[in-house]
Amino acid sequence: MTTTPQAQCECLDLTKLEPVFKRYKDIVSGALIPILQAAQDVYGYLPIQILEAIAVHLDVPISQVYGVVTFYAQFHLDPRGKHIVRTCQGTACHVRGAGKILDSLKQTLGVIPGHATEDLQFTLETVACIGACGLAPVMMVDHDTHGRLKPGDISGILDKYRE
């Protein structure tokens, strides 16, 4: 089960954006991306309430703000988990069972790629290549690489990151 941005942003403190806006007040054009980056640093993600406030502040259409957020992979519309789990889906990992690893991750975490667990401990993502083909199939949890995986390994590895 995933958490929707709308459910998360009902009680957001928009006053936290004021220092962000002040920091970029003298930039006439080109402030959108730095403001989005700073806002994401403050809130951890970019819910619609924040996007609307940024659009109003910059006097640009919300569609422009949304277009930038959805174009760049660095921006996130949904809350992120404390730990980011990335599973490689590249060729070497694919032929060595990456699909079964992904299935095990989805079952263990209870989410599909691109979403966070309900307790916001983990976000599951798929990537085209981690760059550790000799260890295929591979996943990363934050900056830690775990290779030569079998579906039965997943629960034990994730348990090490749980609070």
Task: Spell out the domain ranges in the chain.
Answer: 5-71, 83-159
Stretch (H or E) spanning 129: none
Give the model's pLDDT for residue 8.
Answer: 45
Beta-bridge mates of residue 116 = 123
> Six-digit token pair at 122?
């983990």
User: How far apart are alpha carbons 88 and 104 in whole angstroms?
Assistant: 13
The mean predicted confidence, pLDDT, of the chain is 91
Judge whether 136 and 96 are in contact, CB under 8 Å: yes
Give the model's pLDDT for residue 10.
Answer: 54
User: How far apart are alpha carbons 154 and 91 in whole angstroms?
Assistant: 20
May I ask the CATH class of domain 83-159? alpha beta
Find tokens 């599909």 and name the residue: 112
pLDDT band at 28 (very low <50, low <70, confident <90, very high): low
Beta-bridge mates of residue 111 = none
Residue 55: pLDDT above 50? Answer: yes
Find tokens 């006053």 and name the residue: 15
User: How far apart are alpha carbons 139 and 87 in whole angstroms?
Assistant: 4
- What tens digit of pLDDT does each residue of 73-107 get? 899 999 999 999 999 999 999 999 999 999 999 99
Neighbour-count burial of 100, counting CB atoms closer than 10 A to its CB (0-12 exposed, 13-18 middle, 19+ buried) = middle
Judge whether 137 and 86 are in contact, CB under 8 Å: no
Question: Region 150-154: what's the mean pLDDT?
Answer: 98
For residue 99, what is the DSSP state? H
Nearest to 158 by CA among 148, 146, 138: 146
Quote the strand ranges of the chain, DSSP E: 83-88, 115-116, 122-127, 139-141, 144-146
